[in-house]
Amino acid sequence: MVLKNLYVMKVAGIVAISLFFTAGLMFPHNAAARQDSRENPPIEGSIRISGAWALYPMVVKWAEEFKKIHPKVRIDISAGGAGKGVADALSGLVDIGMVSRELRPEEINQKAFFVPVVKDAVFPTINAGNPMLRELLEKGLKKKDFSDMWVAGRPVTWGELTRTDNRLKVRVYTRSDSCGAAETWAKYLGAHQEDLRGVAVYGDPGLAEAVRRDKTGIGYNNLNFAYDLKTGQPVPGLQIAPIDVNENGRIDPEERLGTKREAIRAVEAGVYPSPPARDLYLVTKESFKGPAKVFVQWILTDGQRYVDEVGYLTIGKKQIDEAIKKIGP
C-alpha cells in the first residue's frame, strides 16, 4: 500500500512538472510577462505620447507589451509628425514626444532631453500600376532623378526616367507637415524640407495613399508605411522605386528593395544610401519622470526584443548603454 502511494505521488509530481513546462512553451509571452512582473513591480499612472509617424507603429507595439506588465498604466498615443512631437513635449502637453530627425539647436536650448530607441529609413514609393514599372524595377532611379523632381522642380516624364519614349508626366508628392521623413529625404538630396517641391500631403499614411491612387505619382515613405507590417511586402497599391546607387544602369541584387527584408538588409549593409537611414528618438523636457521614465527604460532593455518583430532596425549596444546611463536610475 505504501509503495502504491509512493508511486502515485511520483507520477503526480512528473505530471505537474510536465504541465509546468508545457504551459511555459504554450504561453511564452505570458511567462515572460510574469517574469517581468516579478522583476519590475507594477506601476500606475498615465503616459501621453505624440509625434512622428515613423515611430508610431513601434511605440504602439511597445505600449501593448508594457501594459501586459503594468496593466494599471494608461498610455495614449497620437501621431502628427516629428515637429508636433517636439513641440508637445517641450510645452508639457505630452510626457514623451516621438521624433524622427535630429534635434535642432533651438530645441536643445529649450532643454529638450532625448534618447535614441530604434532606427528607420525612408524609401521612394511609386504606384504599383505605373505603366513603366518593369523598366523601373530593372533600371532603378538615380539620385539626380530625385533631385531634378523634388529640388529643381523640373517637369519630367516617366519616359525620361526610364530612357524610353513614354510621355506620361510624373506627379511628385511631398509632406505638408514638419516631419523627419521629409527632412531626411531632403538631406539625401542636399536640401531642406522647405526646399522640396511637389503636391503637399499630410502624414505618412496620407502620402502613401496619394501615390497609391495616382498611377503617375511618386513619393517617399518611412519603412513601415512603405511596407506592410504583416507581410513584409510593399503596401498594396505601392511599389518601392529602387535606387541605382552605383549608377551602372541596372539594379544589382544587393540594391533590390522588393521586400522589407531586402530593404533592411540593404540599409544594414550600407548599400542603401545612408542619409535616408536615421535614428528615431523619444524626447521630453529636462528628463523623463514617473511612469514615462519606467516605460523608456523598459524600451531600451526588454522592449528591444520587439524591434525585429515589428520590422525596424536596431540601434547599437553602445547607443543603448549611453541612453540608459543618460536617463539615470
Q: Is residue 49 part of a domain?
A: yes
Same-domain pairing of 259 and 319? no
Q: Pick the closest to residue 288 from 117, 106, 37, 70 (CA basis).
A: 117
Q: Give residues with Cβ within 8 angstroms of 245, minimum separation 6.
A: 255, 271, 272, 273
CB atoms within 10 A of CB 151: 16
Q: Is residue 231 part of a domain?
A: yes
Report the CATH number that the domain containing residue 203 is assigned in CATH.
3.40.190.10
**Helices within the chain (DSSP H only):** 2-26, 28-39, 56-69, 82-91, 105-109, 133-139, 143-150, 158-162, 180-188, 204-212, 223-226, 260-268, 290-300, 307-310, 317-327
Same-domain pairing of 156 and 245? yes
Q: Give residues with Cβ within 8 angstroms of 43, minimum separation 6.
A: 70, 72, 73, 291, 294
Q: Is residue 5 part of a domain?
A: no
pLDDT band at 40 (very low <50, low <70, confident <90, very high): low
Same-domain pairing of 259 and 298? no
Phi-psi region of 155 (alpha: psi -120 to 50; beta: other; left: phi over 0): beta
State the total domains in the chain.
2
Lowest mean pLDDT among 14-18, 228-232, 245-249, 306-310: 14-18
173 or 17, which is more confident: 173
pLDDT tens column, 3-37: 334 333 333 343 333 323 233 333 344 444 444 44
d(CA 50, CA 83): 10
Cell match 547599437: residue?
316
What percent of the chain is modeled with pLDDT above 70?
A: 87
Q: Is residue 100 part of a domain?
A: yes
1 or 185, which is more confident: 185
Same-domain pairing of 107 and 56? yes
d(CA 123, CA 121): 7
Residue 135: is its pLDDT beyond 90? yes
pLDDT on residue 220: 97
Residue 110: is its pLDDT beyond 80? yes
Same-domain pairing of 159 and 233? yes
pLDDT on residue 42: 78
Domain range holding 193? 121-277
What mean pLDDT do residues 184-198 have? 96
- pTM for the predicted model, two decimal places: 0.82
Same-domain pairing of 136 and 96? no
Phi-psi region of 133 (alpha: psi -120 to 50; beta: other; left: phi over 0): alpha
Same-domain pairing of 186 and 49? no
Q: Is residue 319 part of a domain?
A: yes
Last residue of a domain, one of 246, 262, 277: 277
Last residue of a domain, one of 277, 294, 315: 277
Cell match 514599372: residue?
133
What percent of the chain is modeled with pLDDT above 90?
A: 83
pLDDT on residue 263: 95
Cα 245 → chain centroid:
23
What mean pLDDT do residues 167-195 have? 96
pLDDT tens column, 141-158: 999 999 999 999 999 999
Q: What is the mean pLDDT of the chain?
A: 88
Q: Is residue 271 part of a domain?
A: yes
Could you please report the per-residue DSSP string of 40-67?
S----EEEEEEE-TTTHHHHHHHHHHHH
pLDDT tens column, 55-68: 999 999 999 999 99
pLDDT on residue 276: 73
What mean pLDDT do residues 254-264 have? 95
What mean pLDDT do residues 77-93 have? 96
Lowest mean pLDDT among 119-128, 267-276, 315-324: 267-276
d(CA 225, CA 181): 11
What mean pLDDT do residues 182-187 have? 95
Go through 79-97 and write b for each residue having 16 or more CB atoms within 10 A of its CB, e for each that does not: bbbbbbbbbbbbeeebbbb
Same-domain pairing of 210 and 171? yes
How far CA 231 is from CA of 5, 218, 273, in Å, comes to 55, 22, 24
With beta carbons less than 8 A apart as the criterion, state whether 282 and 117 touch: yes
Same-domain pairing of 134 and 264? yes
What mean pLDDT do residues 37-49 have? 79
Same-domain pairing of 77 and 137? no
Q: Pick the closest to residue 181 from 226, 213, 216 (CA basis).
A: 226
Q: What are phi and psi of 192, to 5 degrees?
A: -120, 165
Residue 167, CA atoms < 13 Å, CB-side half-sphere: 0
Cell (9 digits) for 178: 514638419
